[in-house]
Structure 1
């Protein structure tokens, strides 16, 4: 039966989703392009190829939801940058680890960190992204006084074990062979590279003391962003260096680098570690970071610098913020009230969970996306190896919202985005789902055509829809 609230009159009907919500323009026009779902830290830092939504810091922050993990990351960075600029050690941890599943927001957080360091004045309202207002104000003031953060970005999938050069558009960039040679150049230019040239050419990692001397050659704080490290170590394991390998040498360098963050604010390392196909290497790096953090914590008695970019209970808010320009709170509240009234007034027709206070909270928190949609995307599809969680959910839902608004005259009684709005009649949705299920030994394309949707309207579900409506029932897409 329908779970759409109905009343004998019209004055108490909740507003439709079209009355309460306004999608963002690129969603409304169907122009939220494929490349905008693939955030690339390397493209943002090293080329002009990144879409504006990532490359333009003002636009990036405007369309970014401030998750608790992102706020934590940027607050720690702002604190350390100001401390280094004022030469007043804050006692905070300089090793910040983004530990997350595939598609869990790590690259997005790295891009946010890069923009905070490179373009602090471009953030529309720092207080939205930095937890402490005093720190936000102090960072803004310090940036206005000339704070200049040196940045280095090393993305393991952007380089390879034989060639660590990240930016081929830079005519002065040396042909670096190692992570340490490339980082030295990005941070301090040719002078920095010359300081570590011998280490780079021989692929011998510099120790902590030499790295500290490198950082002391410049008065400004440094931020080092390392992404996809497991993929790089996979390649580096095949490069022999005497009795060792480049992977082992890189691990040694990372230990020295992370040690150089202790007892000072001069350098901060943000390292992302995801559960990818390189599981063994990811676990090795986790152990390395944890060992260094434990050593630091035993001295400073500080908490571990591990951050989860996006918690499970924040995914709905992230999706809503990116897909919708505005969502009216009074429309949301009226809709939730009407649905809960329907459930409690007809308890026999709905499961017990529908009348629980927790269900009301979920309807409110996920609006205008129905909680069952969030559950399916984050619990069911998330089990597929190629599904990139928040990014994958955003891709499918953007098409659902586009389709819903394109046909809104047919759906005036709609109050939520539902699972059936991700319809296989949309070529982008169908191709995405087929790719997701490609690892399953079944012909899903044939199943879709036979049972759900076909161009000639002969799929079983389409036949049932016609029979259902012919007999006086509401169309299934209103249910």
Structure 2
């Protein structure tokens, strides 16, 4: 009975409870014993009415997860990692959704199962984890069946249609033969069988002379063979003996069939292509020749062949005589012909001169002998069989060739396996030592007389295959569409020459595309150059069988590609995969399913997860191309395909080659069986080092602390540049780790404190609020001096994976000696480690992309945290600062009129008169409704510029060193001119009305005849005369009325880290002014006091004592 997703989640939670309960009970008991948790805390849970005083082992999943979350730091932190805590939090949310009867999608259920399984594995609940894993796999199977039931096969093989949409699909230009399109062909039909045709059996395309020539492409070599045979038949010359010698599947049998049908008695005009061929040679008519077909693997030298009339034929020469007579006049004539050699046939002796008499009587004659080696190797050397012995066979061969040469209008055609060295010939056709000896002896005999013959060239093979698989193109519009496709590919190869092999830029390549249309020439190149080297791959026959399967699948699935390319081969279908794999020596099926093609293969996974690759199914197409070009060459010295040739087999016009380069890199970094050496790639049946890396990376999922340590190390390194921030605080674990200071600083949250878009309760938000509200146990004052940078929850999974892959590759290189890695594998690991390093570096800014910025609309509003999504690469802090500057959330320069606006509108004036500069700096650092200043220095510079403005009364303010409450006046009041350099936030910012009032009063009373002060609201500085400023007047009054001080003393505590800076400041700001006074004497004393609770080590005592003595000081150390 089918179950619902809600029920599946319930079963998962029950399994989770069963696995968690013993672990939680064990950890709680241990925590109680170690006093890490109090009995009172535990009693709070036990007193919960829902638990009814039940022991922990009987708690439900909700209680267990809540207890784990609340008691994490005291009970579970030591045994579980940060990732496990995140799983606990997530599973609590899922459990609450389940309890409230919320709907669950299949993806939701898979997520619940995965998270529960991971947590159970962490706590040792292996039995329950295995149960969930089984149910998860069952759900995946159901999902897959549901999605693919109706379109499964089509979805697996169809490539995207948009890639070359402007080009006409091949299926609209050329049509396969009916048997190929429907898939009703028999694979055996592609194997030309001379004996079957002689018997009148087999398909019309081989048995019927007219249909045979309609589907046969007359290559140059075959044309020459037919012309020479016709000349021999007419007695006008020609070669008496022709040896056809090629590799396995090289077209020997097909050539014999062409001769057999040409001399069938049909008029040349009835045979497509033959009439024109013979006419060029001046031959208009052909005699009907008596045809003999001897096929060695269809005849048994150990048992006689019984004919219709009861005659038993024992040897090849007996069969030769019988067939000649039968061809000339039927059964009666066959008996007469056999009588000429009957004695030699029965005794298995060489017929000698009887052969010449036989041929003279039955000329014109065509004798076709195929698989002679296969027959001869069955004969014995010491024991005579009915067919004769091994030695007699070669005396017969010599006698036959001599007889054919002597009798006009007779032609002997023999096929032999190709071999430059008989010891190296393929045993599939020859068969061991006896076969190699038979081949050598026959070559010696026939080679003395035979005429040389060569098989079809590769280009001719294109047409042979095309003609057998496709109907002819007859429509002129179809030819134009074919030519447009060829031109589009050729243009792409020329315009993007660096992306493709050099030979594709030549004009001849466009001709090749037209000649092989609709199959891309690269398909033929790989099949004829690479696959034909396999002993089991019968050149033309093997290509026909494979391409028939490919074309059938593509035709059925509505493929709309402009050409059939290496990347088009649907390796995920049984018929195509089987046709390829059967030629390979090892079991490639699981490798194809995992690393090359199929619904669960790595290329499909990569295409589904990376949109820029999935757009073209680039990874899948790259993998298919590499397989076609590398699988046959396992064990070869030169392995694999270059990246440019891979693109040649995969890229179509209108697509970006760079996307396929990306696909290649992604595939190489993750595939188990894909090797890389420089720019060459190939598949092998042995797993790469990448498999070991994959396993180690998977193991690191159970060691999240190692991944976190690596990420923390890299984050701290990445935060070396602080940008426009005063400081950067990296990875605080709590609010106490972030100091409370006025300068604006960036707080980079730990990797496990991630932000999820739209989730105000994410871990990142919670920690940001905690830091913003307090520093340890004390409240935080300067809340407007902090912004936070957090990792994206979704992107963190990719960052975690990148870190695990980096650590896995590093561990493999560290263990290279123990693993006995080859030099090639070491080079591969080094290259992959470098790539993993770059990937990890790139992932950090991609993941740390959420800037959490405190904001406040007004003094009465709540502080909120606004997320800003950062884009692009770059160093973390400078990138964050750049975005803040763009959003005006960070200010490097504050205009005086803006500062004046804040002072007036908030307002910030104290009793409407002034505000202390130090207090003003604290305001800006504390309240997010004010602008966020880089540091108090920004405020000081704004005050300096504002005080110096000639329009100070309207646009800014005045400055004073202090306020004398007794006298009711500001000391050192400055307005409209440059104030003293402000190095610290000291002094007062004075309201312009208040400053104007005092300045007018002091100017009026400074001395008789002084100029009238500027009117309120005017501009310029207020002066006592045309040249003296208000400050000068104030100075004159001070010197006349007040006594001069004679002594100065100041004391300052200095942080040891700031000693050099503090000393320089004291010298520049204080000492230099005092030392230059006449009669002045300045004395400076430096006192250093240190207290170490655990005592100062002897080595440090020695160093300090020696250094102090060298500096002319008397060091003192005390024990108390």
With structure 1 as the length reference, what TM-score do the two structures score?
A: 0.83
Higher Rg: 2
Following the alignment from structure 1 to structure 2, what is the Cα–Cα distance between the partners of residues 351 and 203? 60
* Alignment match, 1:26: 179
> Residues 104-253 of structure 1 correspond to what in structure 2 (within 5 A)?
104-121=250-267, 124-125=270-271, 127-128=273-274, 131-133=277-279, 137-139=283-285, 142=286, 147-163=287-303, 165=305, 170-172=307-309, 174-188=311-325, 189-207=334-352, 209-218=353-362, 220-238=363-381, 240-241=383-384, 246-253=389-396
| Offset, 1:136 | 6.9
Residues 1:371 and 2:521 are matched in the alignment: yes
1:286 and 2:452 matched:
no
| CA–CA distance in structure 2, aligned partners of residues 239 and 54 of structure 1 | 40
Structure 1 alignment gaps of length 5 or more: 84-89, 294-304
Q: Is the 2:268–2:275 Cα contact (8 Å) retained in structure 1?
A: no
What's 2:604 paired with? 462
CA distance in 2, matches of 1:241, 1:433: 42
2:563 to 416, 420, 423: 416
Does the 8 Å CA contact 1:78/1:135 hold for their aligned counterparts? no
What's the offset of the Cα at 1:245?
Answer: 6.3
Which residue of 1 is the match for residue 996 of structure 2?
A: none
Task: Provide the rounded CA distance (Å) in 2 between the counterparts of 1:128 and 1:193.
Answer: 34
Specify whether residues 203 and 66 from structure 1 end up closer, same or farther in structure 2 by C-alpha distance, changes over 3 A only.
same
Residues 112 and 368 of structure 1, relative CA distance in 2, 3 Å threshold: same
- Equivalent residue number for residue 297 of structure 1: none
How far apart in 2 are the matches of 1:319 and 1:330?
A: 22
The total of aligned residue pairs comes to 436
Partners of 1:273 and 1:428 lie apart in 2 by 32
Q: Is the 8 A contact 1:261 1:267 kept in 2?
A: yes
Check whether the contact 2:360–2:407 (CA below 8 A) recurs between aligned residues. Answer: no
Inter-CA distance 57–125: structure 2 relative to 1 (3 Å threshold): closer
Aligned pair 1:334/2:515, yes or no? Answer: no
> What secondary structure does 2:392 align onto?
helix
Which residue, 593, 617, 621 being the options, matches 1:449?
A: 593
Does the 8 Å CA contact 1:40/1:107 hold for their aligned counterparts?
Answer: yes
In structure 2, the partner of 1:473 is 615
2:299 aligned counterpart, secondary structure: coil
Deviation at 1:69, TM superposition (A): 2.1
Alpha-carbon distance in 2 for matches of 1:130, 1:236: 45
Which of 339, 347, 369 aligns to 2:497? It is: 347
Report the CA distance between 1:316 and its aligned residue: 0.8
Question: Is the alpha carbon distance of 1:344 and 1:311 closer, same or farther for their aligned partners in structure 2, counting shifts above 3 Å?
Answer: closer
What CA deviation, in whole Å up to 9, does each residue of 1:152-171 have, x standing for no partner?
A: 11101001222363xx6x51
Per-residue CA shift, 1:389-433, capped at 9, x if unaligned?
11001111111111222222xx43x22111233322322222222
User: Which of the numbers 547, 555, 579 marks the counterpart of 1:397?
Assistant: 547
TM-score with structure 2 length normalisation?
0.37
Match of 2:221 among 69, 79, 97: 69
Residues 255-296 of structure 1 deviation map (CA, whole Å, 9 limit, x = unaligned): 111111225423210101124421442232122111234xxx
Change (3 A) 1:251 1:54: same
Q: Helix, strand or coil: the match of 2:536?
A: coil
How far does the alpha carbon of each residue in 1:104-133 deviate from its partner, in whole angstroms, 9 at most, with x for none? 111111112112222423873464476341
Asked whether the 8 Å contact 2:242–2:452 carries over to 1, the reply is: yes
CA distance change for structure 1 residues 471 and 182 in 2, over 3 Å: closer, same or farther? closer
Q: Could you give the per-residue CA deviations for residues 296-332 of structure 1, whole angstroms, max 9, x where no partner exists? A: xxxxxxxxx1222422331111111111102443223
Deviations 1:81-119 (A, max 9, x none): 223xxxxxx232110111111101111111121122224
Post-superposition CA distance 1:221-275 (Å, at most 9, x none) = 0111000011111112456349x96222111111111111225423210101124
> Contact 1:82 / 1:138 at 8 angstroms: preserved in 2?
no
The 1:471/1:362 distance shift into structure 2, 3 A limit, reads closer
Distance 2:406 2:581 in 1: 51
Cα distance in structure 1, aligned partners of 2:377 and 2:209: 32
Higher relative contact order (CA 8 A, sep 6+): 1
SS of match in other structure, 1:262: helix
- Taking the aligned partners of 2:310 and 2:250, their CA distance within structure 1 comes to 32
Match of 1:17 in 2: 170
Contact 1:27 1:398 in 2 (8 A): yes
Report the Cα distance in structure 2 between the residues aligned to 1:256 and 1:127, rounded to whole angstroms: 36
8 Å contact 1:130–1:136 — kept in the other structure? no
**Residues 245, 173 of structure 1: alpha-carbon distance in 2 compared, 3 angstrom cutoff:** closer
Q: Tell me if the contact between 2:462 and 2:515 (Cα under 8 Å) persists in the aligned partners.
A: yes
Give the whole-Å Cα distance in 2 for the aligned partners of 1:227 and 1:271.
Answer: 6
Q: Distance in 2 between matches of 1:200 and 1:130?
A: 43
Is the Cα contact below 8 Å between 1:95 and 1:270 reproduced in 2? yes
Tell whether the 8 Å contact from 1:319 to 1:394 is kept in structure 2 after alignment.
yes
Contact kept, 8 Å, 2:348 with 2:388, in 1: the verdict is no
Q: Does the residue aligned with 2:540 lie in a helix, a strand or coil?
A: helix
Contact 1:164/1:182 (<8 A) preserved: no
Give the RMSD, CA atoms, in angstroms: 2.8
Flag the 1:365–1:380 CA change in 2: closer, same or farther, 3 A: same
CA distance in 1, matches of 2:224, 2:573: 39
Kept in 2, the 8 Å contact 1:114–1:151? The answer is yes
In the aligned structure 1, how far is the partner of 2:498 from the partner of 2:541? 38
CA distance in 2, matches of 1:5, 1:342: 17
Match of 1:255 in 2: 398
